[in-house]
Amino acid sequence: MTTKSISRLPSNTIEAQLTANAKSESISRPYGVTWRHATASLNSNDPIEDANAQLILRKDKRNKDHKSHELGAAGDLLFFAIMDGHAGPHTSRLLAKALIPAVALELSTLDKGSTELKGVESLEKNHESYLSTAWSYFQALVPFSRRFSSHIPSEDPKYVQLAIQTAFANLDSEIVNAPSRILEMLQSKSDMKPWDHPMAAASMLPALSGSCALLAVLDTGRRDLHVAVAGDSRAVAGYWEEDSNGQGKWRVEVLTEDQTGRNINEYHRMVAEHPPDEAPYVIQRGRVLGGLEPTRAFGDANYKWPKELQERYSKPLLAEQASYD
C-alpha cells in the first residue's frame, strides 16, 4: 500500500482560482427596483463543459382592449440557468443560448388558450414523451380558457410548471432529432457529402454531447419561484432568519431532487420504462447502463436513438474517422 501527500495551495492562490471567473451584475428596472446576481465557475476540464445564462423580462398587466397576451400581473420574470455539461461542451453551450428563450416562449403561449392545439396532433409519433407532456398540458389548459374567461393560466403555478416541462422536453427533442432531419436534407439537396457540410457537425455535436440543466424562474409580481431540473444539478436556497433580539442564523433548503440511478425513485422509473428482461441491466453501479450518471439530461443521443438510427450514423462516422487516420 502506498500513500501520497498532497500539499495545500496557498490561500491567495485558492482565492484567485475561485474568483477568476466570478462576476456580478446589477440591473435597474424602470420602477425603482435593482436586481443583483452573481456567478462563479471553476472548471475541471479545459475547455470548461459547463455554462450559465440569465435573462430578465418585463411583465405588464393584461390589456384586454388591445388583446395583449402579456404574462399576468406587473413585475419581472427573472430567469437563471446552470448547465452542467458532459462528454464535451457542445450541449451546454447550445442550452446557454436556447433554454431560457424556449421556456419564455412557451410561457408566452399560456394565455392564448385553445389556439395552441392546432399543431399538437401533427407532431411526430416518435416524440412520445414530449407529446404526452404537451398533450396533458394543453388538455388541462383548454377547459379553463373556455369556461372561465377571468382565469389567467399564466398566473396559475400549475400551468406555469407544465409549460416549463413542455419547453424542456420539446427542446431536448429538437436537439436529439435535429441531426436526422438535417442529414437527410443535406443528402437530398447538396452535392457534397452530408458529413462534409458544416451543418452536420453543428447539429451532431450537441446531440452526442450531453448536459444537465437547472433553471430557476422568479415571478416577482406574484412572488412565485419555479425550479426545474434535468439531471443531478442541485438548487439550494438560503434564508436568513432573524429573531426578536436582532440575532439570527442561516437556514438552508434543498429545492431539487438529484436524478441519478442512486435515487431510488429514478431507479424504479427507469426500470419500469424498459422490458422486464432488461431490468437487471438498465441501472448498473448507479449509472444508466453502467455509464451515464444522470438519468435525465439534454442530448446524450446515443442513449436515446433507436438501434437502427445508431447503426445508420455509426458507419459513416467510423468511415469518416478512418479517412483521417
pLDDT one-digit tens code per residue, 214-242: 999 999 988 999 999 999 999 999 999 99
pLDDT at residue 319 in the model: 56
pLDDT at residue 246 in the model: 85
For residues 310, 274, 126, 120, the Cα torsion angle rounded to the nearest 10 degrees is -150
Closest CA to 78 of 262, 227, 263, 209: 227
Q: What grid cell was written down for 278?
A: 432488461
* Residue 234 buriedness (CB in 10 A; 0-12 / 13-18 / 19+): middle
- pLDDT category at 115 given cuts 50, 70, 90 is very low
CA separation (Å) from 261 to 130, 283, 289, 295? 22, 6, 10, 6
CB atoms within 10 A of CB 197: 17
- Cβ(80)–Cβ(216) below 8 Å: yes
pTM: 0.78
pLDDT for 2 beyond 50: yes
Mean pLDDT (the chain, rounded): 81
pLDDT at residue 188 in the model: 78
Beta-ladder partners of 23: 39
pLDDT at residue 184 in the model: 81
pLDDT for 288 beyond 70: yes
pLDDT for 300 beyond 80: yes
- Cβ(179)–Cβ(195) below 8 Å: no
pLDDT for 189 beyond 90: no
For residue range 23-77, list pLDDT tens digits in order.
999 998 887 889 999 999 988 888 899 999 999 998 755 544 444 334 444 689 9
Instruction: Over range 232-259, report the average pLDDT.
Output: 93
Q: What is the spatial distance between Cα 86 and Cα 279, in angstroms, rounded to a whole number?
A: 25
Instruction: Over range 87-104, report the average pLDDT.
Output: 95
pLDDT at residue 60 in the model: 59
pLDDT for 134 beyond 50: no
pLDDT at residue 121 in the model: 35
pLDDT at residue 215 in the model: 98
